Amino acid sequence: EDQVTQSPEALRLQEGESSSLNCSYTVSGLRGLFWYRQDPGKGPEFLFTLYSAGEEKEKERLKATLTKKESFLHITAPKPEDSATYLCAVRTSYDKVIFGPGTSLSVIP
C-alpha cells in the first residue's frame, strides 16, 4: 500500500537553531514530490517540487533534498515567521497524489 509518513510530528526550535524535517514514502514508483507550507486557518501553500534522487531546491532559509526513499526539508537559522505545518505529497506511478500528515514547526524567539 502506498504510504507517506512525516517525522517528527511536532518540532520546537529556538530562533537560529537549524534542523531538518523528514518525509518518507513507500509508493509504487515516485514521479514527483511536493513540499507545502500551511499556516493556521489557511490552505497549504506550495514550496518545492522534486523529481529525482539527488535533486535539491532552495528558497530563503529552506532547502529540500530527495533520495530514493525520503525527502528532507532543511531549515537553516529559522525565524519565528517560519512557524507553520509543513506537508509533503508524493505523486505515484499511478498518478495518485498522496499527502503526508505534516510536521508542525514552532520557532521560539
- Which three-class secondary structure string do you get for 20-72? EEEEEEECCCEEEEEEEEECCCCCCEEEEEECCCCCEEEECCEEEEECCCEEE
Residue whose CB is less far from another protein, 95 or 109 = 95
Pick one of 45, 53, 67, 69: the residue that binds another protein (CB under 8 A): 45
Residue whose CB is less far from another protein, 43 or 109 = 43
Is 57 a binder of another protein (CB under 8 A)?
no
Is 32 a binder of another protein (CB under 8 A)?
yes
